[in-house]
Chains A and B, each alone.
Chain A
């Protein structure tokens, strides 16, 4: 039996401990903001925070998260007004939107570790998150806005 604090609430899971966090939050907890895009750590659509650090939810398992804290897009901010979310809206980043929860979680993790990333650090950090619609230009602008407020 694993116990994981998800978005501030203790959750138990007694199924297969190798279950990826992605499927645990989606299928068991109905937190569907976290998306499946590849299942192999190649796209970032499933990005959640494990103890405040961005991880791929399709690779990190329930066992990895046992006793730890997981934050999904739904728990990033109670009001939905995390600076990254605000910047994403100000810059009209999304097209289809499917990748965006993962992008936002990745960017939030970057900025909490490094509040003033260089352009190169932004690109390096965000390169694991694919956006098939091609919103990268606005993603980079939005990360910069969230970082500097401008």
Chain B
């Protein structure tokens, strides 16, 4: 196990040496007595072993990681390098960043690189499930391996051609150069011979020194689709057109598990352009991503299909969830969270400590279900013919989609092709391929290519919703106001209910997102998950359970600080305590921290890194400065997707209760950063996404139906009031510090930082999300 802490990295020094990061005192820091110590020392240069150890959970994902250059790279005789992007692009930039890493490591000229999108084929490309903020985390090193292998193949081909040894040549700027003679051959000329070579053994690969990177870490490469996006040529789900294609819009049961009692389609069929009406079989909770079912109107244009659907007269049987009401549900969650649940962490004796505490401060926080509402509502095109089915869809998990479509249609997987378009935002919604399955099914039914377009109303009312939760936190203080106990009880329906019969308890993934891993240095900590049955389709939404957990913990921390008259930032740092690696055993966990399934030794929870980003955000924000009345700074820090992010939010609340955010200072420690420009854009986006969730988002169920329907009542932050100046401060690291998540971890700290800022501006504490009209006067 110790070798995991003893990785070699490319030396920042020009000499022939390498630096190692070494944990000089693993035992002691596990006991919590010292911090994580990083020591740089020179060891003998050993290229072949340079990247022996870069373990991530990527290897354990379904179909693992593929690093075969023949799968990912092709070179044309004219020198054009084609690189396969196998992850879905939904705005994070991974479709650019991973090929950029390959190109850099293979010494290709980015201007000569073309990117093609892989279809859903995990046996070939390895895992493609674009989710969990792991594209760079799992694939940065394999991308370097691919690039290094191609570079070596090109060098070998040149050496063969010149009749010299490979040591005498080196790749440089899209050509291979003879080191002493200065002869050069371009990549195009070498392509055929090079790509005919077998993949070099991994031990034969050598990697660039970080100082030699052309593109990695520079932030100068623009996203590959930038020109197409700005000229309207980029292709998203609904932009695919096939000859003879029909257009479908579906009326789905308003209540999950509902079925069609009766349908009168005569008016629909009378709408000009409407061709036919098809039934889609219904499903209930636990049907994974199978469509909800309903009635599809199929027409010769989208407009006709929409009008046709409006003309349908359907009587629904609502089924068992027809009495689901948000107002009652909230009470149910609250009752559950106010009693003991299933213990997920028990450190010390929290019950006893609370009983003997001088006083106990109690806070309850609530968040309703949320819809992801990507700008592009679900849409897909499919052509099922001759026992085969080809689909074009904006899906986060193209191979998962392939398996699900094949299963639904009763086809062999090899007869199903999933082409991945650009995703007009995903946020977890497009991990669920119900819309692609529907489309494939309808194409098969009508025997023609079909496009299914979801309307915005469909998107908001038939989502796989972000969990709703009540988080109850009780904090015990001794007579000296020292925090001696922290009890967190959470009642939130689990996304497990989407897959298996609901038992009312969460999956370890959800528990691992801020419930079991409170990083506070307090003697007695307990966490319970309290029973909560799902009554709608629950699915993950950008940042998942980290949102309500960070909101509750970081709000409660500021509340206690206020109660004690302490500075909120200082108190938060005091709660986190000494820099140490959290020890799951000492933390009273029955098993290891879930830790995003990453190997803990490689991705430990280092409280020093958390404190560091909190300090950094505070410092950059001018924490402690005096602000005019109605303005306040709030701070929060949270580790998720194995990244550490803190935000200092400056809020300004008008007399009428309107909340403005003139500035946010984001401090992010996400290990080595391959594309800082996209990290900054993700942080800006996370602040807007977080502000939407904090200020506006919530779907309301009444009799099982979602009341909200479009952007007038499911509001989004807009250009007239958004976090105006987001300053992102990136903690620099060498490549040896694992790249960690970026797409999601920016959202969780924003909500509590804003709530804390609002409190400091107004004295009003937000415990119920969204803020909505709570501050209106």
A35-B376 in contact given A15-B301, A96-B423, A127-B719 (Cβ < 8 Å): yes
Pairwise interchain contact A139-B232, C-beta atoms closer than 8 A: no
How many angstroms from the CA of A136 to the CA of B685 in the assembled complex?
Answer: 9
Contacts of A27 in B (CB 8 A): 247, 301-303
* A6 shortest CB reach to chain B, Å: 13
Q: Mark B686-698, 1 if CB is under 8 A from A, else 0.
A: 1111001000000
Cβ of A147 under 8 Å from chain B: no
Q: Mark B707-718, 1 if CB is under 8 A from A, else 0.
A: 000111000111
**CB pairs A–B below 8 angstroms (16 shown):** A33-B234, A37-B376, A37-B456, A39-B456, A40-B710, A42-B710, A98-B374, A100-B229, A129-B718, A131-B375, A132-B692, A135-B684, A136-B717, A136-B718, A137-B722, A139-B719
Q: Mark A4-42, 1 if CB is under 8 A from B, else 0.
A: 000000000001100110010011101111111111101
Cβ of B273 under 8 Å from chain A: yes
Pairwise interchain contact A33-B238, C-beta atoms closer than 8 A: no
Interface-facing stretch out of B201-209, B220-228, B751-759 = B220-228
Q: Mark B357-374, 1 if CB is under 8 A from A, else 0.
A: 000000000000000011
* B300 shortest CB reach to chain A, Å: 9
Contacts of B777 in A (CB 8 A): none
* A91 shortest CB reach to chain B, Å: 10
How many angstroms from the CA of A75 to the CA of B639 in the assembled complex?
Answer: 46
How many angstroms from the CA of A106 to the CA of B696 in the assembled complex?
Answer: 25
Q: Mark A71-108, 1 if CB is under 8 A from B, else 0.
A: 01110100010000100110010111111110010000
* Residues of chain B in range 358-410 having any CB-CB distance to chain A below 8 Å: 373-377
* A2 shortest CB reach to chain B, Å: 14
Contacts of B588 in A (CB 8 A): none
Contacts of A124 in B (CB 8 A): 720
Pairwise interchain contact B375-A99, C-beta atoms closer than 8 A: yes
Contacts of A88 in B (CB 8 A): 230
How many angstroms from the CA of A6 to the CA of B64 in the assembled complex?
Answer: 49
How many angstroms from the CA of A76 to the CA of B718 in the assembled complex?
Answer: 24
A97-B677 in contact given A85-B230, A133-B425, A134-B684 (Cβ < 8 Å): no
Pairwise interchain contact A89-B230, C-beta atoms closer than 8 A: yes
Cβ of B91 under 8 Å from chain A: yes
Contacts of B303 in A (CB 8 A): 16, 19-20, 23, 27
Out of B227, B234, B272, name the residue touching A80 (CB < 8 Å). Answer: B227
Pairwise interchain contact A23-B91, C-beta atoms closer than 8 A: no
Out of B92, B239, B692, B711, name the residue touching A43 (CB < 8 Å). Answer: B711
Q: Mark A114-146, 1 if CB is under 8 A from B, else 0.
A: 000000001110111111111111111000000
How many angstroms from the CA of A15 to the CA of B303 in the assembled complex?
Answer: 11
Q: Chain B, interface size: which category?
A: 35 or more
Of all chain A residues, which has the CB nearest B245? A27
How many angstroms from the CA of A141 to the CA of B688 in the assembled complex?
Answer: 16
The 4 closest A-B pairs by CB, nearest first: A33-B232, A134-B688, A98-B424, A73-B232
Contacts of B424 in A (CB 8 A): 35, 96-99
How many angstroms from the CA of A38 to the CA of B458 in the assembled complex?
Answer: 10
Pairwise interchain contact A100-B720, C-beta atoms closer than 8 A: no
Pairwise interchain contact A134-B719, C-beta atoms closer than 8 A: no
How many angstroms from the CA of A72 to the CA of B232 in the assembled complex?
Answer: 9
Contacts of A85 in B (CB 8 A): 230-231
Cβ of A45 under 8 Å from chain B: yes
Contacts of A95 in B (CB 8 A): 91-93, 425, 681-682, 685
Of all chain A residues, which has the CB nearest B722? A136
Cβ of B724 under 8 Å from chain A: yes
How many angstroms from the CA of A15 to the CA of B302 in the assembled complex?
Answer: 13
A133-B685 in contact given A15-B273, A104-B230 (Cβ < 8 Å): yes
Contacts of B682 in A (CB 8 A): 95
Contacts of B711 in A (CB 8 A): 38, 40, 42-43, 130
Pairwise interchain contact A92-B724, C-beta atoms closer than 8 A: no
A98-B425 in contact given A33-B233, A89-B226, A126-B719 (Cβ < 8 Å): yes
Out of B93, B374, B684, B720, name the residue touching A138 (CB < 8 Å). Answer: B684
Contacts of A138 in B (CB 8 A): 681, 684
Pairwise interchain contact A137-B684, C-beta atoms closer than 8 A: yes
Contacts of A133 in B (CB 8 A): 91, 375, 425, 685, 688-689
A89-B453 in contact given A38-B711, A43-B375, A132-B373 (Cβ < 8 Å): no
* A36 shortest CB reach to chain B, Å: 7
* B33 shortest CB reach to chain A, Å: 43
How many angstroms from the CA of A74 to the CA of B229 in the assembled complex?
Answer: 10
Pairwise interchain contact A132-B681, C-beta atoms closer than 8 A: no
Pairwise interchain contact B677-A92, C-beta atoms closer than 8 A: yes
Pairwise interchain contact B455-A39, C-beta atoms closer than 8 A: yes
* A80 shortest CB reach to chain B, Å: 4
With A133-B688, A133-B689 given, name 7 new contacts (CB 8 A). A19-B303, A39-B306, A94-B225, A95-B93, A95-B425, A132-B689, A137-B723
Q: Mark A34-74, 1 if CB is under 8 A from B, else 0.
A: 11111110110100000000000000000000000000111
Of all chain A residues, which has the CB nearest B723? A137
Of all chain A residues, which has the CB nearest B424? A98
Contacts of B232 in A (CB 8 A): 31-34, 72-74, 101
Of all chain B residues, which has the CB nearest A130? B716
How many angstroms from the CA of A51 to the CA of B451 in the assembled complex?
Answer: 31
How many angstroms from the CA of A76 to the CA of B247 in the assembled complex?
Answer: 28
Pairwise interchain contact A36-B377, C-beta atoms closer than 8 A: yes
Pairwise interchain contact A98-B376, C-beta atoms closer than 8 A: yes
Cβ of B629 under 8 Å from chain A: no
Contacts of B726 in A (CB 8 A): 137
Cβ of B50 under 8 Å from chain A: no
How many angstroms from the CA of A41 to the CA of B375 in the assembled complex?
Answer: 14
How many angstroms from the CA of A100 to the CA of B422 in the assembled complex?
Answer: 13
How many angstroms from the CA of A16 to the CA of B301 in the assembled complex?
Answer: 11
How many angstroms from the CA of A137 to the CA of B231 in the assembled complex?
Answer: 21
